[in-house]
Amino acid sequence: MNYDLTNMTPKDLEKAINFLQTLLGNTLENKNTISKVVKQENESIECPHCHCNDCIIKSGFTKNKIQRYLCKKCNKKFISTTNTLCYRTKLSFGDWQLFFECMSDCLSIRKTAAKMNVNKNTVFAMRLKVLQALSTFRNSVKLSGEIQADEFSIPINFKGMRQSNMPRYSKKRKSASKKVNHKVCVLGAIDENDNQYLEIVGNGEITSKEIEESLSNKIIDGTILITDCRSAYESFAKKYNLKLEQIKSSTYKNENGYTLSEINGLHSNFFGFIRTFRGVSTKHLQGYIDYTVEVINHPKEILYYAIKQKSNITIKNIYNATFPFDVDKAYADYH
């Protein structure tokens, strides 16, 4: 076959395309492809136990022909996927690729399991592992310039919890409490460079202390904070010497032309995304919050990002997850 692509005939090009498609299919199903991808995505091999990166030597292969390494400092062996969400997975790289496509399409756990031909419990575990791995997005966000900040509330959800363990009696669907203490408070912020941030700060009305704990290490000096007229933002801006621009609830913009359109759009996108799952347990809500609309639109890019993140979450961790705040205190009026 002529390998000069510019001089190939259509017949030769079709043969080359068919060969590459076959090769790609075999690579996606190969057991050691994930290990190769993780190794390639990381800049260097680091020991997952002692984090040494200059004392690593090769130490044979596993039964699936995956390269094994030995750390001469702590004398422990590992592979490139150790302490990642793909560690000890029986799924191929192609399966993980399909999973991220299903997440991008907002498919339910059962529909994703049917499409991947795996058990729904496997998909549930995969989803929560991925959501935890993506928490590094939120942890690394820095906000500068003009920052729009606002909060929203969503009812506390006990999906998956036994009725005997709930702090309140069971309710029918669509009968969520209207009491503010029975709702999760999520603080959102977005800057002029489209850096986005969403985090659960507690329950009930937001306080200046919650704003400070959430945003104080995210905001770079010399910024303009654009919010509604809630007094909690006034206290926060005054303490950190931020220029504050507030918009009254009955108006679209203030006298200086500032609006909250970007942060309101971010909130709307989140609600549109979360609505497709027909309820998410508050225990795992932060993970879904981290999976922003910007992330959903780039499944392949996020696949390569997520599989290299250090995440040693286990099935036990998933099922023993705790709420981000004291729910017994939130429902104290029930006792």
Q: Alpha-carbon distance 193 to 235, whole Å?
A: 25
C-alpha dist (Å) from residue 237 to 148, 149, 207, 230, 329 = 13, 12, 13, 12, 29
pLDDT value of position 236: 92
Q: Looking at residues 37-59, what average pLDDT do you find? A: 84
| Reported confidence tier of residue 212, pLDDT bands at 50, 70, 90 | very high
Within-domain flag for 150: yes
Look at 200 and 54; give whichever has higher pLDDT: 200
Q: Alpha-carbon distance 145 to 189, whole Å?
A: 12
Whether this model's pTM surpasses 0.75:
yes
Q: Which domain holds residue 43?
A: 32-82
Q: Which of 64-73, 132-141, 261-270 has the lowest mean pLDDT?
A: 132-141
**Judgement on whether residues 170 and 185 belong to the same structural domain of the protein:** yes
Within-domain flag for 212: yes
Within-domain flag for 224: yes
User: What residues contact residue 97 under an 8 Å CB cut-off, 6+ apart?
Assistant: 28, 300, 303
**Judgement on whether residues 167 and 291 belong to the same structural domain of the protein:** yes
Share of the chain above pLDDT 90, in %: 21
Within-domain flag for 233: yes
**Judgement on whether residues 69 and 153 belong to the same structural domain of the protein:** no
Residue 49 has pLDDT above 70, yes or no: yes
pLDDT value of position 214: 92
Within-domain flag for 219: yes
**Judgement on whether residues 158 and 71 belong to the same structural domain of the protein:** no
**Judgement on whether residues 24 and 37 belong to the same structural domain of the protein:** no
User: How many structural domains does the chain have?
Assistant: 3
Three-state DSSP class for 305? Answer: helix
**Judgement on whether residues 1 and 76 belong to the same structural domain of the protein:** no
**Judgement on whether residues 17 and 68 belong to the same structural domain of the protein:** no
pLDDT value of position 233: 93
**Judgement on whether residues 16 and 76 belong to the same structural domain of the protein:** no
Within-domain flag for 254: yes
pLDDT value of position 174: 59
Residue 3 has pLDDT above 70, yes or no: no
Within-domain flag for 148: yes
Highest mean pLDDT range out of 6-10, 177-181, 193-197, 316-320? Answer: 193-197
**Judgement on whether residues 278 and 241 belong to the same structural domain of the protein:** yes
Within-domain flag for 41: yes
pLDDT value of position 149: 93
Which residues, listed in sequence order, are joined to residue 205 by a DSSP beta bridge? none
**Token reading at 9:** 């005939």
User: Which H, E and C letters describe 25-84, residue by residue?
Assistant: HHHHHCCCHHHHHHHHHCCCCCCCCCCCCCCEEEEEECCCCCEEEEECCCCCEECCCCCE
Q: Alpha-carbon distance 298 to 304, whole Å?
A: 10
Share of the chain above pLDDT 70, in %: 95
**Judgement on whether residues 153 and 288 belong to the same structural domain of the protein:** yes
Nearest to 87 by CA among 309, 320, 286: 309
Q: Alpha-carbon distance 285 to 198, whole Å?
A: 11
| Reported confidence tier of residue 333, pLDDT bands at 50, 70, 90 | confident
Tell me the pLDDT tens digit for each residue of 103-129: 888 888 899 999 999 999 889 888 888
pLDDT value of position 159: 83
φ and ψ at 116, to 5 degrees? -90, -10
pLDDT value of position 295: 58
Exposed (0-12), middle (13-18) or buried (19+): which is 178, by Cβ within 10 Å? exposed
**Judgement on whether residues 14 and 78 belong to the same structural domain of the protein:** no
φ and ψ at 160, to 5 degrees? 90, -5
CATH label of the domain that carries residue 219: 3.30.420
pLDDT value of position 211: 93
Residue 215 has pLDDT above 80, yes or no: yes
**Token reading at 10:** 């259509």
| Reported confidence tier of residue 317, pLDDT bands at 50, 70, 90 | confident
Look at 288 and 233; give whichever has higher pLDDT: 233
pLDDT value of position 163: 80
Q: Which of 93-107, 211-225, 283-297, 320-334 has the lowest mean pLDDT?
A: 283-297
Q: Looking at residues 275-302, what average pLDDT do you find? A: 77
pLDDT value of position 172: 66
Mean pLDDT for the chain? 84
Secondary structure element (H or E) that encloses residue 184, with its range: strand 183-191
**Judgement on whether residues 173 and 222 belong to the same structural domain of the protein:** yes
Q: Alpha-carbon distance 253 to 106, whole Å?
A: 34
Residue 148 has pLDDT above 90, yes or no: yes
